[in-house]
Amino acid sequence: MVMMMIMDEKSLHLLHLFVMLLLCMKPALGFNSGIEDADIRCIEKEREALVMIKQGLTDNYGHLSSWGNEDEKRDCCKWRGIKCSNQTGHVIMLDLHGPSSWDNFSTEPLRGNISPSMLELQHLIYLDLSYNDFGWNFIPMFIGHLTKLRYLDLSCANFTGTVPIQLGNLTSLQYLNLRSCNFFLNVENLEWLSQLSSLRHLDMTLLNLSRPVDWFQTINSLPSLSELRLRGCELSDVVPPSLSFVNSSTHLAILDLAANYLSSSIYNWLFNFSSSLVEVTYLITTYKV
């Protein structure tokens, strides 16, 4: 980390020097587009990474037509779905969400693979890849290296397999949406989740959580959680000892546990447990007899 920060400062300094040099030389060299150049904030390495990401994707509807190598497209900060820091110029937001069904029927999602060159975007704090079609690929483990992320939406993007435990490295996350639309995502264990102590919003709708036995403990260890959606996750009742350890979740306001295998006693208990609850969904739960 320390190394990286030094590198960053150094390269920023170099960049600054370079720009100053260019500005000084321009009149002498007879450049005539000086004002335009000064406007470009995009960092070249990040621009190249974004071009690589585009190359990995099939974009039949031209969602990414503003992205490219052409001269007039040099400032990647102006590309669709990109936002750069107005202080450092680094890309801080990448919003590639596809059309959700209530959004737009007349367009198509992006298809293909997410290029590992996304790792170049180390300053990302917001990443939305939802509602695309990643063709039953796994969720890339390398997303766990984008450690500045605060917002991550991978919902309904046609991923399959096991949610990578590397997501537990994203300790700044406040929003995590892994909602599945195809029933093909599962979770082996949930230990990684307890590392995400800043999490406020968690959606794992339709993920198969029948394997982790500790789901309640894990959720209970997230101190800032205010919205939790675990609809249709194949959850079974927690064993009573678990309940007596209840600690936190005092911010929990919205809870969706519908369509699981839970008994009604857990709901009686939940209402006691968090006074901040304002919305609980459980009516379509399959009650245990």
Ligand X SMILES: *[C@@H]1O[C@H](CO)[C@@H](O)[C@H](O)[C@H]1NC(C)=O
Are 176 and 197 in contact by the 8 Å Cβ rule? The answer is: no
User: Going by C-beta distance under 8 Å and a sequence separation of 6 or more, which residues neighbour residue 146?
Assistant: 118, 119, 121, 122, 124, 127, 170
Is residue 274 part of the contact set for ligand X (CB under 6 A)? no
Using CB under 6 A as the binding rule, whether residue 218 contacts ligand X is answered as no
If binding is defined by CB under 6 A, does position 86 make contact with ligand X?
yes
Q: Site map for ligand X, 94-113, x if CB under 6 A?
A: ----------x-xx------
Nearer to ligand X, 175 or 192 (CB): 192
Other CB atoms within 10 A of residue 28 CB: 7
Q: How far is the CB of 25 from ligand X (least distance, A)?
A: 27
Phi, psi (rounded to 5 degrees) for 143? -55, -30
Burial of 108 (0-12, 13-18, 19+ CB in 10 A): middle
189 touches ligand X (CB under 6 A)? no
Q: Work out how close the CB of 154 gets to ligand X at its nearest, in angstroms, rounded to a whole number.
A: 14
Rule CB under 6 A: say whether 245 interacts with ligand X. yes
Least gap, CB of 68 to ligand X (angstroms):
18
Our finding on whether 31 is near ligand X (CB under 6 A) is no
234 binds ligand X (CB under 6 A): yes
The 3-state DSSP composition of the chain as helix, strand, coil percent (nearest 5) reads: 30, 15, 55
Contact between 264 and ligand X per CB under 6 A: no
Cβ-count burial of 209 within 10 angstroms (0-12 exposed, 13-18 middle, 19+ buried)? buried
Query: With CB under 6 A, what is the number of residues at the site for ligand X?
Result: 28
- The correct pick among 69, 100, 272, 286 for binding ligand X (CB under 6 A) is 272
Give me the DSSP letters along 32-79. Answer: S-HHHHHH----HHHHHHHHHHHHTEE-TT-TTTT-SSSGGG--GGGS
The yes or no reply on residue 45 touching ligand X (CB under 6 A) is no
Whether 268 contacts 277, CB under 8 Å: no
- Smallest separation (angstroms) from ligand X to the CB of 97: 12
Structure tokens at 237: 């009742």
Using CB under 6 A, list all residues that contact ligand X.
Answer: 86, 104, 106-107, 133, 135-136, 144, 158, 165-166, 168-169, 183, 186, 192, 208, 210-211, 217, 220-221, 234, 245, 247, 268-269, 272
